[in-house]
Amino acid sequence: MKTRLSFLLGSLSAALVAFALTSPRVVAADKVDPVADAKAFRNYFFQKFPDVKHEDFVNGPYSMNADMKRQWLEKEEFPPYEFALDAGKEMFSTPFKNGKTYADCFPNGGIGIRQNYPYFDGKEGKVVTLELALNRCREANGEQPYSYVKDEMASLTAYMAFTSRGKPMDIKIPDDPRALEAFENGKRYFYTRRGQLNFSCASCHVQSPGERIRAEILAPALGILNAMPIYRSEWSGMGTISRRFITCNSQTRAVPLEPQSDEYRDVEYFLSYVANGLPIAGPGARP
């Protein structure tokens, strides 16, 4: 009886010790840690491509291939996004019917602030992207919102990115469980396989950047939003971040979400945060 009791106690304490030893690790794995995630994310790319300068990752496929980079630098002399940039500048300075302008809706009159988007809005409890903020500005001033996937929106963000070129991405995650949840949700979306082709965003842009799918070179996920919006030759036009996400989903035969749905906003939050420190390079040009 006594031996059995001591055996029981012994195994109980062994179990407790085992629990005490393993539980901190379990907690660590469960904890949302954006700082550690961002560091691991960046290091993965830096180690995979030791010859690519860190600030060069924002140039997407051009950072992966010297020939393409040369072609691109030549193209940049007459950039295909220039018409959108001019249109955006014009739109930005044209007052709404009520006499106000976009500048009234943004810090610093909207100039040089692209690197702070998206941000977590504590009042709304959600991520607010630049595209969303622009349409909210329009609606607050009695104007119709623009399509998230068409030229007007891309022109506006092109201009705002241009005034922010070179500034390091600077996304904040406030000490708010909802902000951490948004980051985690975006991360989950990014790594989850979906659609008939069974790809996650990461399948192409983490596992296979620099590889070719037919003639196209896959862009690294690191800094992929820093060059947005982009002129894509494949689209014969400009594309917003919303358009990019939707196209990625439909090309992998997944069901695209609504532009600016919570999940897309969260993915943008995740991807932008892990690119903190890399320069804004938008508007960009891509094949």
The Cα–Cα gap between 90 and 83 comes to 11
Stretches 37-45, 67-75, 99-107, 206-214: which one binds other proteins (CB under 8 A)? Answer: 206-214
Q: Should residue 233 be labelled a site residue for other proteins when binding is judged by CB under 8 A?
A: no
Interface with other proteins (CB under 8 A), residue from 139, 211, 234, 258: 211
CA distance 168 to 278: 5
Alpha-helical (H) ranges within the chain are: 2-30, 34-48, 66-75, 82-93, 130-140, 151-162, 177-191, 201-205, 241-251, 262-274
Comparing CB distances to other proteins, the nearer of 69 and 194 is 194
**Is residue 215 near other proteins by the rule CB under 8 A?**
yes
Q: Is 213 in the site for other proteins (CB under 8 A)?
A: yes
Per CB under 8 A, which of residues 78..97 are in contact with other proteins?
A: none
In whole angstroms, the minimum distance from the beta carbon of 87 to other proteins comes to 34
The residue from 4, 53, 123, 214 that contacts other proteins (CB under 8 A) is 214
Q: Please state the closest distance from residue 119 (CB atom) to other proteins, in A.
A: 34
108 binds other proteins (CB under 8 A): no
Minimal distance, residue 17 CB to other proteins, in Å: 34
- 190 is an interface residue for other proteins by CB under 8 A: no
Question: Torsion angle, CA of 150/183/40/226, rounded to 10 degrees?
Answer: 20
Residues belonging to the chain:
287
Binding segment for other proteins (CB under 8 A), chosen from 5-13, 65-73, 210-218, 270-278, is 210-218
Q: Is 197 in the site for other proteins (CB under 8 A)?
A: yes
Contact residues for 10 (Cβ-Cβ < 8 A; gap 6+): none
Verify whether residue 137 is a known catalytic residue: no
The burial class, CB within 10 Å (0-12 / 13-18 / 19+), for 84 is: buried
CA-to-CA dists, residue 131 to 70, 104, 150, 273, 279, angstroms: 31, 16, 11, 17, 19
Member of 43, 108, 192, 198 binding other proteins (CB under 8 A): 198
Total chain residues near other proteins (CB under 8 A): 13
The Cβ-side half-sphere exposure at 43, using a 13 Å CA radius, reads: 6
Active site members: 248
- For binding to other proteins (CB under 8 A), which residues are involved? 196-199, 203-204, 207-208, 211-215
